[in-house]
Structure 1
């Protein structure tokens, strides 16, 4: 279903044959906010959730240089299309977790964000010039603080920070410092480091994905 006129403004619904959970989950894919990475990354995860009886939505959104405000506007519109009552968890991978956390600061329907190898500290990512300056590319002239999860905490939603020890794309120090900031700011959170790399999280057969599914339990069952 489309929520805007742009070709990338769509939300794909994965409906379970038999619903076993309250509320819904929205998947937000990553890719350092660049257009070449698409919602195809999140589709296997949404399909797996639906097979488990959990209503799932896979988000596509506008990306590219200077798109931080557009991405947030898109995510806010998309949440409005979720028809289920009850808690909404966002599972965001990499850059998708940044968008999920910013969305949670603007929409109280989001009760939980599960960050998979997330870019949760844009200031540190910017200082490290990750992915050839992706943060600068994302923001353009916009103020970083308005789109940086650690600058927006605390929010109502619980934030679960999962990261792989061998992540070469988003260094584990990003997750460690985000967890430290969460604790200092009084943000409800959990933090766990797993074995695996940046992409293990989006493999529905992995134990890391199983950990994400288990983390849904308190909110949705």
Structure 2
């Protein structure tokens, strides 16, 4: 389903083989907001959810230098195509976790965000210069606070923060500080560390992905 004229403005729907859940889940892929990383990263997760009876959507969005406002606008448009009623959970990996939280802060249809090694503290990521100053590349002249999840909390949606102890792409200190900010701001959240690196989360056969599925259970079943 296309929600705009750009080639990257589309949302792929994965219908459940046998409906067993309420609401829907939207997958948002990561890749430090760069164009070479695509929604193909999220497709296996959406397929797995559909096989479990959960309506699943896999988001593609505009990325690249200076795309912060465009990607948020895209996510807002895309969630409008989800036909199911609440609950809607966003599962976002890496930069997708950041975008998922931004979306939830702007759209009350989102009831839960599951952050898989998410870039939830963009200010800290900027100060660390992660991925060759990816934050500066993303924002350009735009204000950081408008695109930093921890600056938009508290919000209605619950945030589940999952992170790998061996993550060298998004250091675990990002998750720890985000969890601390959530606690201080009164943002409903949970924080769990797992073994594994940055990419185990997007392997549908991993124990890390199984934890994400379990986090859906009390909300969607």
Counterpart check, 1:184 vs 2:168: no
Q: Secondary structure at the match of 2:11?
A: strand
Counterpart check, 1:101 vs 2:105: no
Partners of 1:13 and 1:94 in 2: how far apart?
A: 21
Deviations 1:9-44 (A, max 9, x none): 000000012110000000000000000000000000
Partners of 2:158 and 2:219 in 1: how far apart?
A: 10
Deviations 1:117-143 (A, max 9, x none): 000000100000000000000000000
Partners of 1:77 and 1:193 in 2: how far apart?
A: 32
Tell me how far 1:219 sits from its aligned partner. 1.2
Q: Any unmatched runs of 5+ in structure 1?
A: none
Partners of 2:46 and 2:77 in 1: how far apart?
A: 19
Partners of 2:99 and 2:197 in 1: how far apart?
A: 21
| Map of 2:69 onto structure 1 | 69
Is the CA contact (8 Å cut-off) linking 2:29 and 2:93 kept in structure 1?
yes
Deviations 1:201-220 (A, max 9, x none): 00000000000000001211
| Map of 1:37 onto structure 2 | 37
Counterpart check, 1:131 vs 2:121: no
Tell me how far 1:109 sits from its aligned partner. 0.1
| Map of 1:81 onto structure 2 | 81
Q: How does 1:1-221 map to 2 (within 5 A)?
A: 1-221=1-221
Partners of 1:195 and 1:61 in 2: how far apart?
A: 30
TM-score by length of 1: 1.00
How many correspondences in the alignment?
221
Q: Any unmatched runs of 5+ in structure 2?
A: none
Q: Secondary structure at the match of 1:32?
A: coil
Tell me how far 1:151 sits from its aligned partner. 0.2
Is the CA contact (8 Å cut-off) linking 2:86 and 2:111 kept in structure 1?
no
Q: Secondary structure at the match of 2:142?
A: coil
Tell me how far 1:86 sits from its aligned partner. 2.1
Partners of 1:213 and 1:173 in 2: how far apart?
A: 24
